[in-house]
């Protein structure tokens, strides 16, 4: 709670102004006069902090202040319910400002200027009037509250007397209504089993009315052997003072509850017997139990994964296939918020799909990736159903899924095969035919222009064309082999080192800094580094060193292959991975891009022209991991053709 002034005769004032000298002079004047305690603030924001700390009798504020002017300060203060007297003290004398100030809740408006003593005397007088008015208003307000409270108390006493009488009557009626509407038959018995009271349902079991059985021996309503048996239950409650419960079969299945009723001395003076017919419930439970057993048998025999979970992710059911797939026991899953390891972009799509389900469209199918405990990525297909109550509120989800990794791989293999066939066809029919055309033309020229100089020139060009045909045929072989084997986890350091050792980079310093990094990729990953090294040698001109490193930005792994050659011109950066681009055949970097694409890996060149090439390889979450050499999988390196 804000503090108040220590001396009740002194008014505590807050003065807010961005003019520090004026604050100091004003504070000094009032302290010398001994009539007020003045706190100062250089801005409205600082003023709010002071108001939270102290209770003020009045607030003085300049109008024109940075960030928040005096009227804005006043409006915000009043919006919090603070009714402290507020005085606008400013050099601005425009009529519209005066009107705005008064409309905002200002108590007084004073314009700066004139003789200082007269100015401060007027300000002091205004403060006293504001404080006195506030005191009078508070006193009137308090008196009104006291009068209202007194009137309410008198009215309340009269109303409570009437209310108590009505409530007593209503209570009796309500108790009787509750007793008569209860699904249980209820009877009140004394120690001798004489009926003291009962609801309408109890005598109706025996074709009688309540008036007919009150005052009679309750066991007259039952066969002798039943009466003797149940009288034992009755006497047990009277002797022990403890409730008795029992399920009993007689003319149906009944749930009996006998509860003691104590007098003021703590003695059992009577008992109430609640008997509820549960025959239908028992039959339904048996039916449900049979149905549930059948349901569980069918669900548990499914190879699909089946689960049910609440909107917050809490699992309430999971079949054996679901548990086995995720490596969890049913005890670990149920009543827990189990969340599989799903890549961020897939997780976003799943959330959007679940949120899109409505009572009109309760089912949706989605395919997504998942990262299983061994770190590999697999594909799943889920059919999600939203389950809604009668008001259309979502209560839970049911999901049925299956692993479609092999199907996805087959689909991708078919697409890759079609792409490879088209490309190989293009190379075979177009590129090689073009080179053969050149070759045949050169042979014709050679026959026509047999001179001492010409044959040597033609032969050199024939050799160049032949070499290009050989390179194109070599590419078709590598491209055909791409994707033939299943991708696997590969030690990045071993792959890069093996590629550089098999290349012609003996005179180039290679620095490989990727210890413990494993990548899930096509087994031709080594060809990627071999071709990047070959590209540096043939096109980097002055390359003397190649550096390979790894970093991760959030969940994305990034491999960097950097050299110190001449780099790639800016206008070529987006084209170098296309077929037939570059100073040679253009197939090397195209093959690099195609190999990486098999497992969703991408590559781009980010170097600075004139300062070397910098290839960055981007690997999605789940397709890279850090491991110790001891526990890591070891993939044999491919022998690359030289």
Residues 495 and 589 in one domain: yes
For residue 152, tell me if it sits in a domain: no
Tens of pLDDT, residue by residue over 551-589, are 999 889 999 999 999 999 988 888 888 876 444 445 678
Strands 58-61 and 86-90: parallel
- The residues, ordered by sequence, that sit 6+ positions from 287 with a Cβ below 8 Å of its Cβ are none
33, HSE (Cβ side, Cα atoms, 13 Å): 18
Low-confidence ranges of the chain (pLDDT < 50): 5-6, 430, 581-585, 630-632, 634-642
Same domain for 490 and 430: no
- Where is the domain boundary, 435, 464, 479? 479
* 311 in a structural domain: yes
**Domain region containing 393:** 302-403
- Residue 642: the pLDDT is 37
**Do 175 and 156 touch, CB atoms closer than 8 A?**
no
Q: Do 120 and 43 fall within a single domain?
A: yes
Do residues 548 and 589 touch, judged by C-beta distance below 8 A? Answer: no
Can you tell me the distance from the alpha carbon of 539 to that of 568, in angstroms, rounded to the nearest whole number?
9
Dihedral (CA of 120, 124, 125, 129) sign: positive
Residue 51 vs residues 3, 15, 61, 87, 291: alpha-carbon distances, Å: 9, 11, 13, 15, 69
Residues 491 and 592 in one domain: yes
Longest dimension (CA), the chain: 144
In degrees and rounded to multiples of 5, residue 254 shows phi and psi of: -120, 145
Tokens read off for 182: 């209860």
User: Last residue of some domain: 385, 403, 421?
Assistant: 403
Q: Which two tokens stand for residue 166?
A: 């009505």
- Asked which of 388, 403, 418 is the last residue of a domain, the reply is 403
Same domain for 505 and 442, yes or no, is no
Name the phi and psi angles at 337, rounded to 5.
Answer: -95, 75
Report pLDDT for 585: 44
Bridge partners for 60 per DSSP: 15, 87
Residue 157 lies in a domain: no
Phi-psi region for residue 251, left (φ > 0), alpha (ψ -120 to 50) or beta? left
Half-sphere exposure of 521 (CA within 13 A, CB side): 30
pLDDT computed for residue 432 by the predictor = 61
Q: Is 546 part of any domain?
A: yes
Q: Could you give the CA distance from residue 211 to residue 203 in angstroms, rounded to a whole number?
A: 9
Structure tokens, 446: 């050679």
Name the domain count of the chain.
5
**Same domain, yes or no: 503 and 469:** no
248 and 205 together in one domain: yes
CB half-sphere exposure, 145, CA atoms < 13 A: 6
The answer as to whether 432 is a domain residue is: yes
Determine, yes or no, domain membership for 292.
no
Q: Are residues 491 and 607 in the same domain?
A: yes
The reply to whether 381 and 426 lie within a common domain is: no
CA atoms within 13 A on the CB side of 204: 11
- 613: nearest Cα among 508, 521, 533, 509: 533
Q: Is 531 exposed, middle or buried (0-12, 13-18, 19+ CB in 10 A)?
A: buried
CATH of the domain at 380: 3.30.450.20
- The CATH number assigned to the domain holding 53 equals 3.40.50.2300
Question: Could you read off the pLDDT of 308-360 as tens digits, one per residue?
Answer: 899 988 998 888 888 888 888 888 888 778 888 888 888 899 999 999 999 99
Q: So what's the pLDDT on residue 364?
A: 93
Does residue 99 contact residue 121 with C-beta atoms inside 8 Å?
no
Among the listed residues 64, 65, 20, 12, the one whose alpha carbon sits nearest the alpha carbon of residue 43: 65
The CATH number of residue 601's host domain is 3.30.565.10
Q: How many residues does the chain have?
A: 642
**108/196 same-domain check:** no
The answer to whether 37 and 13 have CB atoms below 8 angstroms apart is: yes
Residue 154 lies in a domain: no
Are 513 and 582 in the same domain? yes
- The answer to whether residues 218 and 121 belong to one domain is no
Distance CA 191, CA 197 (A): 14
Please check whether residue 622 lies inside any domain of the structure.
yes
- Could you tell me the sign of the dihedral formed by the alpha carbons of 239, 243, 247, 253, in that order? positive
pTM of the predicted structure, to 2 decimals = 0.38
Q: How far is CA 452 from the centre of its chain?
A: 81
Q: How many Cβ atoms sit within 10 Å of the Cβ of residue 419?
A: 14
């Amino acid at each position: 709670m804000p503090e108040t002034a220590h001396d009740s005769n002194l008014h505590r004032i807050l003065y807010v102004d961005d003019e520090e000298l004026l604050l100091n002079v004003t504070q000094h004047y009032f302290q010398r006069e001994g009539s007020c305690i003045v706190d100062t603030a250089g801005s409205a924001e600082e003023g709010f902090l002071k108001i939270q700390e102290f209770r003020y009798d009045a607030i003085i504020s300049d109008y024109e202040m940075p960030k928040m002017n005096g009227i804005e300060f006043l409006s915000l203060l009043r919006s919090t319910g603070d009714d402290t007297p507020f005085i606008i003290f400013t050099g601005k004398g425009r009529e519209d400002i005066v009107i705005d100030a008064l409309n905002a809740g200002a108590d007084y408006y004073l314009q700066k200027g004139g003789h200082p003593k007269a100015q401060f005397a007027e300000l002091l007088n205004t403060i006293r009037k504001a404080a006195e008015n506030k005191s009078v208003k508070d006193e009137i307000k308090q008196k009104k509250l006291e009068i209202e409270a007194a009137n309410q108390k008198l009215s309340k006493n009269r109303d409570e007397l009437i209310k108590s009488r009505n409530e007593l009557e209503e209570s009796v009626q309500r108790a009787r209504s509750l007793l008569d509407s209860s699904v249980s038959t209820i009877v009140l018995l004394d120690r001798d089993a004489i009926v003291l009271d009962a609801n309408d349902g109890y005598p109706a079991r025996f074709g009688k009315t309540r008036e007919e059985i009150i005052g009679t021996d309750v066991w007259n309503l039952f066969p002798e052997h039943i009466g003797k048996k149940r009288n034992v239950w009755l006497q047990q409650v009277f002797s022990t003072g403890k409730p008795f419960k029992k399920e009993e079969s007689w003319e149906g299945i009944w749930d009996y509850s006998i509860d003691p009723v104590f007098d003021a001395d703590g003695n059992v003076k009577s008992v109430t017997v609640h008997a509820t017919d549960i025959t239908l419930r028992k039959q339904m439970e048996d039916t449900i139990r049979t149905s549930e057993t059948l349901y569980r048998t069918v669900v548990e025999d499914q190879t699909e994964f089946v689960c049910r979970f609440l909107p917050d992710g809490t699992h309430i059911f999971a079949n054996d296939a679901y548990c086995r797939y995720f490596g969890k026991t049913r005890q670990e899953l149920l009543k827990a918020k189990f969340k599989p390891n799903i890549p961020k972009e897939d997780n976003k799509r799943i959330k959007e799909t679940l949120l899109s389900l409505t009572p009109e469209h309760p089912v949706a199918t989605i395919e997504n990736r998942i990262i299983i405990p061994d770190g590999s990525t697999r594909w799943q297909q889920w059919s999600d159903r939203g389950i809604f109550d009668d008001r259309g509120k979502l209560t839970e989800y049911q999901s049925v899924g299956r692993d479609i990794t092999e199907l996805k791989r087959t689909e991708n293999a078919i697409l890759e095969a079609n792409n490879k066939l088209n490309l190989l066809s293009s190379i075979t029919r177009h590129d090689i035919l073009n080179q053969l055309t050149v070759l045949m033309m050169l042979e014709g020229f050679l026959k026509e222009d047999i001179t001492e100089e010409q044959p040597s020139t033609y032969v050199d060009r024939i050799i160049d064309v032949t070499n290009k045909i050989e390179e194109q045929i070599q590419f078709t072989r590598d491209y055909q082999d791409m994707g033939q084997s299943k991708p696997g986890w590969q030690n990045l350091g071993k792959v890069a080192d093996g590629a550089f050792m098999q290349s012609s980079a003996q005179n180039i310093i290679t620095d490989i800094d990727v210890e413990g990094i494993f990548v899930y990729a096509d087994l031709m990953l080594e060809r990627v580094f071999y071709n990047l090294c070959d590209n540096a040698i043939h096109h980097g001109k002055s390359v003397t060193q190649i550096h390979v490193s790894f970093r991760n930005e959030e969940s994305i792994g990034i491999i960097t292959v950097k050299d110190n050659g001449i780099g790639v011109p800016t206008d070529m950066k987006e084209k170098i991975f296309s077929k037939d681009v570059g100073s040679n055949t253009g197939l090397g970097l195209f093959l690099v891009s195609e190999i990486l694409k098999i497992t969703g890996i991408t590559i781009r060149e980010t170097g600075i022209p004139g300062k070397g090439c910098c290839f960055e390889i981007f690997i999605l979450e789940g397709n890279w991991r850090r491991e110790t050499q001891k526990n890591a999988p070891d993939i044999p390196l491919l022998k690359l053709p030289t």
